[in-house]
């Protein structure tokens, strides 16, 4: 039995050294055009989902989805989010599609599953960003209350009142 466990240990060590060598020799593609392998994608999604769930505050956004609150959040979205995630006037975004992973588009038929995340999970993503994706942290740009405004805005982006849509164009 001791020989069996020694074999398992040696196999795992060889796999680790081999994996390190492959990465160290630059054999793993890192360009934004290269799609990750199944294992890399699975590991990244596992780590991302676990980290976001662990850091997410419980409960719903403290910002009620009133017409006034959504209109106040529209300029925040326009100025900090629409460049990558789309606006009512630019739903097809070549820049966003060029990122890897592509930045999710929150308007129209391309709206992703991310909008079904809890309010706390959206808050964490907006506040902390996501490393190696192009999603920046907002801690130097937005106050906590403004992040909650964006969470409420995103949760209601498919049913914005006219005041919020009009606020996209106001500068």
Based on the structure, what is the number of domains in the chain?
1
Nearest to 70 by CA among 168, 141, 138: 168
CATH of the domain at 89: 1.10.760.10
- For residue 60, how many other CB atoms are within 10 A of its CB? 15
- Range 33-54 average pLDDT: 89
53: in domain: no
73: in domain: yes
139: in domain: yes
Residue 171 has pLDDT above 80, yes or no: no
What CA–CA distance (Å, rounded) separates 152 from 65?
A: 6
**In this predicted structure, what is the pLDDT of residue 94?**
83
Look at residue 62 and give its three-state secondary structure: coil
Name the band, by pLDDT with cuts 50, 70 and 90, for residue 113.
low
89: in domain: yes
> In this prediction, what percent of the chain has a pLDDT beyond 70?
94
- Structural domain for 152, as ranges: 67-167
What CA–CA distance (Å, rounded) separates 77 from 71?
A: 10
Q: What is the pTM of this model?
A: 0.82
97: in domain: yes
Name the band, by pLDDT with cuts 50, 70 and 90, for residue 88.
confident
55: in domain: no
Name the band, by pLDDT with cuts 50, 70 and 90, for residue 55.
very high
Sequence-ordered list of residues with C-beta below 8 angstroms from that of 158, at least 6 positions apart, any chain: 107, 111
Name the band, by pLDDT with cuts 50, 70 and 90, for residue 112.
low
145: in domain: yes
112: in domain: yes
Residue 90 has pLDDT above 80, yes or no: no
């Amino acid at each position: 039995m001791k020989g069996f466990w020694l074999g398992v240990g040696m196999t795992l060590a060889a796999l680790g050294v081999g994996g390190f060598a492959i990465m160290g020799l630059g054999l793993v593609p890192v360009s934004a055009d290269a799609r990750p392998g199944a294992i890399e994608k699975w590991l990244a999604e596992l780590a991302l989902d676990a980290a976001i769930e662990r850091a997410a505050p419980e409960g719903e956004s403290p910002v009620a989805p009133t017409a006034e609150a959504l209109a106040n959040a529209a300029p925040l979205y326009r100025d900090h989010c629409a460049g990558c995630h789309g606006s009512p006037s630019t739903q097809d975004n070549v820049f966003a599609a060029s990122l890897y992973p592509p930045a999710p588009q929150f308007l129209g038929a391309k709206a992703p599953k991310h909008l079904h995340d809890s309010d706390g999970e959206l808050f964490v993503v907006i506040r902390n960003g996501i490393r190696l994706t192009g999603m920046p942290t907002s801690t130097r740009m937005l106050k906590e209350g403004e992040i909650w405004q964006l969470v409420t805005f995103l949760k209601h982006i498919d049913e914005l009142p006219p005041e919020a849509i009009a606020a996209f164009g106001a500068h």
